[in-house]
């Protein structure tokens, strides 16, 4: 028995806002400098490191693999540095320096106006995710997300399905009642492991190939004067210049038809 689409669940980093290159990466580098470590992550290096989910794990991996620290020492340093990095990132958010992706505010407003519930499931931590999503909803003029699930709320981060599963549990929904919106390889894998349809809006560190498995892959939400580009359309959906509630319904319907 098919179930109607009830909700859209969004990732945050790269999906709601392009936070990585000019947000997190800069904050990591500021934390290194502030604590006297002579390390600076270039954009090229960060493109590789971002494949590791969780900021403390990202620091530990870097120190262990690139700077030859023992794993335990790397973890201890990461444990010390990560809260500093997080506060520096929060300062950036509160200064209004991290806007939403082009077209995302329009898209969320339209979803909510069409009666869809909206929620967040992200590997990010409480202390910066909640300020950021509040800033985005205030700036974007849409209602706050009904549920915000962060990496603090589950045992396993993406690509495990735990975050989306917890969001669904809180919403009281099953995987076939939502569409999950992601921007990265780990995010798409997490959505697929959850067992529901996934819309991929390519992030700045992703390639179309890395998003394989999503039910539609586009390069953006689309906005006035800046139409989206379709990168993969396995169901041959009729797409326009912008993501819309009707297109999300079509993704859900065709996903159900092809299960």
Domain boundaries, the chain: 7-18+99-257, 20-94
Query: How many residues are present in the chain?
Result: 259
Spacing of C-alpha 219 from chain mean position? 14
Which residues, 6+ apart, have CB-to-CB distance to 34 below 8 Å?
84, 88
Which residues, 6+ apart, have CB-to-CB distance to 64 below 8 Å?
70, 71, 74
Task: Classify each residue of 64-73 as buried b or exposed e, where b means 16 or more C-beta atoms within 10 Å of its C-beta.
Answer: beeeebeeee
225 exposure class (CB count in 10 Å sphere: 0-12, 13-18, 19+): exposed
- The secondary structure of residue 178, as a DSSP letter, is E
Q: Which of 86, 152, 85 is nearest to 120 (CA)?
A: 152
Decide if pLDDT at 87 tops 80: yes
In angstroms, the CA 138 to CA 143 distance is: 8
pLDDT of residue 205: 87
pLDDT of residue 177: 98
pLDDT of residue 96: 86
Q: Which residues are catalytic?
A: 11, 13
pLDDT of 154-210, one tens digit each? Answer: 999 999 999 999 999 999 999 999 999 999 999 999 999 999 999 999 998 889 999
pLDDT of residue 175: 97
Sequence-distant contacts of 206-213: CB under 8 A, at least 24 apart? 206/14, 208/232, 210/184, 210/185, 211/182, 211/183, 211/184, 211/185, 212/188, 213/188, 213/189
In CATH, the number for domain 20-94 is: 1.10.150.240
Q: Which of 212, 207, 167 is nearest to 51 (CA)?
A: 207
pLDDT of residue 1: 62
Q: What percent of the chain has pLDDT over 70?
A: 100
pLDDT of residue 21: 87
Q: What is the mean pLDDT of the segment spanning 56-70?
A: 97
pTM for this model (two decimals): 0.91
Q: What is the dihedral of CA 164, 54, 218, 237, to 10 degrees?
A: -20
Q: What is the mean pLDDT of the segment spanning 111-125?
A: 97
The per-residue pLDDT of the chain, averaged, comes to 96
In CATH, the number for domain 7-18+99-257 is: 3.40.50.1000
DSSP 209-237: GGGTT-SEEES---BTTB---EEE-TT--
pLDDT of residue 3: 87
Q: Which of 183, 170, 175, 186 is nearest to 216 (CA)?
A: 183
CA distances from 175 to 144, 165, 171 (A): 22, 8, 11
């Amino acid at each position: 028995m098919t179930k109607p689409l009830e909700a859209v669940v969004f990732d945050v980093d790269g999906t709601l806002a392009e936070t990585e290159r000019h947000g997190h990466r800069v904050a990591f580098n500021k934390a290194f400098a502030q604590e006297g470590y002579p390390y600076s992550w270039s954009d090229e290096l960060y493109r590789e490191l971002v494949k590791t989910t969780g900021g403390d794990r990202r620091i530990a991996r870097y120190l262990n693999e690139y700077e030859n620290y023992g794993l335990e020492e790397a973890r201890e340093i990461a444990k010390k540095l990560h809260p500093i990095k997080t506060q520096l990132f929060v300062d950036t958010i509160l200064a209004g320096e991290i806007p939403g992706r082009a077209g995302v505010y329009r898209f969320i407003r339209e979803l909510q106006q069409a009666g869809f519930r909206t929620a967040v499931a992200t590997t990010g931590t409480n202390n910066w995710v909640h300020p950021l999503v509040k800033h985005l909803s205030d700036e974007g003029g849409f209602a706050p997300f009904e549920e915000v699930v962060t990496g603090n709320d589950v045992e396993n981060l993406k690509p495990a399905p735990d975050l989306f599963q917890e969001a669904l549990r809180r919403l009281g929904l099953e995987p076939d009642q939502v569409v999950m919106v992601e921007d990265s390889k780990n995010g798409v894998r997490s959505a697929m492991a959850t067992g529901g349809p996934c819309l991929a809006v390519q992030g700045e560190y992703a390639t179309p190939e890395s998003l394989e498995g999503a039910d539609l892959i586009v390069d953006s939400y689309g906005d006035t004067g800046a139409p989206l580009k379709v990168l993969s359309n396995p169901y041959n959906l009729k797409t326009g210049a912008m993501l819309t509630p009707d297109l999300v319904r079509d993704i859900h319907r065709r996903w159900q038809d092809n299960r």
